[in-house]
A and B are shown apart, each in its own frame.
Chain A
């Protein structure tokens, strides 16, 4: 043991949600230290890495992947960090760097719809949350102000608001305008509510449409975990990068007494605090809890009823790509700008997944070029093909709600270890009929849209094939009953009075919205609870 660090609060992980929680505690006068396994990174370095990358389609590629804080990497092939136990693969993507995975994202900032919190009561499927939409509403707004969320007023019909969005929606690109008009009045296509500036906000410029949200917004117009860490540091939070937490100590009552972490020279350090907050990724927090197993807690911490790591969810999604009957010029403006909300709630949830339908505005040039080359085109013929297709090709995808299933889970790998000798995550996962039926319902909608867009050359993802959306939920589910949940309604571990968790993992259902805004609101509520305000 080289030294012992002490603070009022130790936060493990320095992603967006952890940073906002840490910030709030620091502003209330607490001394707060954030321990982050990964390195400190700078935007310009990541932009440079991206510009030089041979794998521009892989959003993880520009980010430094260290053997001391490894994360999944699938290009050119799977680095095997996540062990897949099947039957269905769960190829999660996440970053272990200061600021976390939201360095590369679309900054989508939908709130859940109120019924998402009471799925069991309303539709007799899934489970209810221990809190309601109304409980979370003020914290949603608090998060939106910190992020700088822009959005259209119409969104309030799905998720009611006590206060307006901090900013008006981002201007619609040509693609957005065209799709909105072509699908009227059958579908209400709305500009997304996002952590993306439509006007200068908090010292960051407005979006200028570089269409580079993933893997990195080059101008900081998009809110990221990097922005959150800057806000946290301004509030006095101390960030220690390259600090890989591997174990928590506890006393006879189960109260947490210390965290242990390795620096990148494999030296072990200890940090002590009054309160401990686990704010890492929803696959990495269970790992720390499992690794902290002791005589008193042989299954790991917070795991007296074998709930840690279970109920793993994401939004399975399938894609539909087509050529519109007119040029729609994908590739200017945000990559994911508009969506349909109308299927996010309804009685049908008794039978099949609710879903949101998202339209992509990502540049099609790379995809189209690959198609052309595959067809054997060269020279002028290839040029013409690219011009014609890149202007007319676009895609849409659904974001399907998956129900919590205890058999979908993350565990410690029994076979794989990283360079520090720490086991890597192992995942058992499947997708059930509820989702498959949601996919069938989506197909009907896809076909209506295809018709309205006058689309040709329509291509669908193969039946039964889904992509991950990196909305990792459920592994630390909150609930009132300790036998079926890991954390209580404030994010505190049932079994440890001074241990809190702020992460998408505490969400007991995945609902139909990208998870970070809800996790941010929950984190801010957890901070309020630590401060005795909830």
Chain B
């Protein structure tokens, strides 16, 4: 219908108007795709102008600063052609030929169809206001400062294929797989990475640490994944951050839901849920699987006479009013007893939640306790919560909380890479020496 209308309009008004009408459609389509891809998560700084960049993304090897992707000719991507744009999006290469770091999920965007890349391009050129302000430069330590080093990484880990539908699956499943793989880039966080920071293909969505927050196993494994969730629960979680059965989003997932997933069309959420529900079960890093005490906890006598444990005392003063004396929650505030967050292979998300609180755009905020509790207290409280309400085998330490407070443990990758460069240098030197020796001997022979 729309096409017929456009055609008639074109016949009457000429091709320029047709192009404009098509562009208008593409702008809104591109805007939707940019939301689904959550471009703003990195490229719009908190309180900053849309897509003007400047947000520093913490990675194990240092901060990577998102660039200005507004159509500013001077500081953004205003002078880029659609081909330049497509190359950056799908191959991780800037207009000037420099490589992007894979904090930009171009390994996911490589799967985008040509039509969607075009829509995104038109949106960024015509639907986004240009902002003439350069974002800060990313300054990583050597050898990562050499952007060309990413060429080798891309050779190893970048799959150039755009998304190919699986004819054996439904259209809905294929839509979900496309959204999850090419746009929402779920695997960027949920798939564990190898020593070179590439996603392990055999462990798709099996759960991974982001350094601080832990992106849980979302495969259909019934014990370690979300195999017991119904498709409706997955859909509810994706659009609201709550599945109605003891799981609620925090940290970066909450941000992804607030800024991106909650704005997707119901049909797309359903497609995503169908796809996620079908993910092959992977055990991932399994939780110890010990059952929490879950007994009646609240003991006024112990609390009153001072014999209660330090954890129980902290829980009573800082948590119990909202989450219930026995972790039962209520009045729309989440129960901790058997909450998904206390059945993870690591205690990090609970410690992170205590430190930072939860700040949904639309919904009840949980206040942060970083300013009130020290690292030892956060660890004691985390351990109490796991022991009482979740997997008693999962515990943390004050030292780990210190790391979390400081943004995560330093990456071994840096050391490996720096040693690696020295090792590579030695090899190259030996090769050069060998070649020289060979050349000299050859010259001698021919002489």
A-to-B contact residues, CB < 8 Å: 42-45, 47-48, 51-52, 200, 204-206, 208-210, 212, 218-220, 332
Contacts and interface: CB of A to CB of B under 8 A. Distances in A.
A175 to B, nearest CB: 14
A61 B327 CA distance: 26
B56 to A, nearest CB: 21
B313 A48 contact: yes
Contacts of B317: 44-45, 47-48, 51
Contact of B320 (A51, A200, A204, A332): A51
A52 B303 contact: yes
Contact of A219 (B303, B313, B316, B367): B367
**What is the interface residue range for chain B against chain A?**
20 to 34
Contact of A205 (B304, B367, B372): B367
B340 interface: no
A44 B365 contact: no
The 8 closest A-B pairs by CB, nearest first: A205-B365, A48-B317, A218-B321, A44-B317, A200-B365, A205-B367, A47-B317, A44-B318
A106 B312 CA distance: 29
B252 to A, nearest CB: 19
Given A48-B316, A52-B300, A220 B367 contact: yes
Given A47-B321, A51-B316, 19 more contacts: A42-B372, A43-B372, A44-B317, A44-B318, A44-B372, A48-B313, A48-B316, A48-B317, A51-B303, A51-B317, A204-B367, A205-B364, A205-B366, A206-B365, A208-B331, A209-B331, A219-B322, A219-B367, A220-B367
A205 B316 CA distance: 19
Contacts of B332: 208
Contacts of B359: 200
Nearest to B362: A199
24 contacts: A42-B372, A44-B314, A44-B317, A44-B318, A44-B372, A47-B317, A47-B321, A48-B316, A48-B317, A51-B303, A51-B316, A51-B317, A51-B320, A52-B300, A200-B359, A205-B357, A205-B364, A205-B365, A206-B364, A208-B331, A208-B333, A210-B322, A219-B322, A220-B367
Nearest to A209: B331
Contacts of A52: 300, 303-304
Contacts of A210: 321-322
Nearest to A206: B365
Contacts of A200: 359, 365
Interface of B: 300, 303-304, 313-314, 316-318, 320-322, 331-333, 357, 359, 364-367, 372
Contacts of A332: 331
A220 B304 CA distance: 24
Given A51-B316, A52-B304, A208 B372 contact: no
Contact of A47 (B304, B318, B333, B367): B318
Contacts of B366: 205
B376 to A, nearest CB: 15
Contacts of B313: 48
B359 to A, nearest CB: 7
Contacts of A219: 321-322, 367
A208 B318 contact: no
A200 B358 CA distance: 11
Nearest to B377: A44
Nearest to B304: A52
A440 to B, nearest CB: 41
A204 B364 CA distance: 11
A200 B318 CA distance: 19
B355 to A, nearest CB: 14
A267 to B, nearest CB: 31
B370 to A, nearest CB: 11
A210 B332 CA distance: 11
B299 to A, nearest CB: 11
Contacts of B322: 208, 210, 218-219
A520 B331 CA distance: 34
A240 B389 CA distance: 41
Nearest to B320: A51
Nearest to A217: B321
Given A48-B317, A52-B303, A208 B364 contact: yes
Nearest to A54: B304
Nearest to B313: A48
A42 B359 CA distance: 23
A99 to B, nearest CB: 15
Contacts of A205: 357, 364-367
Contacts of A48: 303, 313, 316-317
Contacts of B364: 205-206, 208
Nearest to A200: B365
A48 B314 CA distance: 9
Nearest to A47: B317
B321 to A, nearest CB: 4
Contacts of B314: 44
Nearest to A45: B317
A204 B369 CA distance: 11
Contacts of B300: 52
B114 to A, nearest CB: 42
A206 B359 CA distance: 10
B321 A212 contact: yes
Interface hub of B300, B303, B365 (most chain A Cβ within 10 A): B365
Nearest to B318: A44
A205 B321 CA distance: 15
A232 B322 CA distance: 29
Contacts of B357: 205
Nearest to A42: B372
A204 B368 CA distance: 9
B297 to A, nearest CB: 13
Nearest to B369: A44
A202 to B, nearest CB: 12
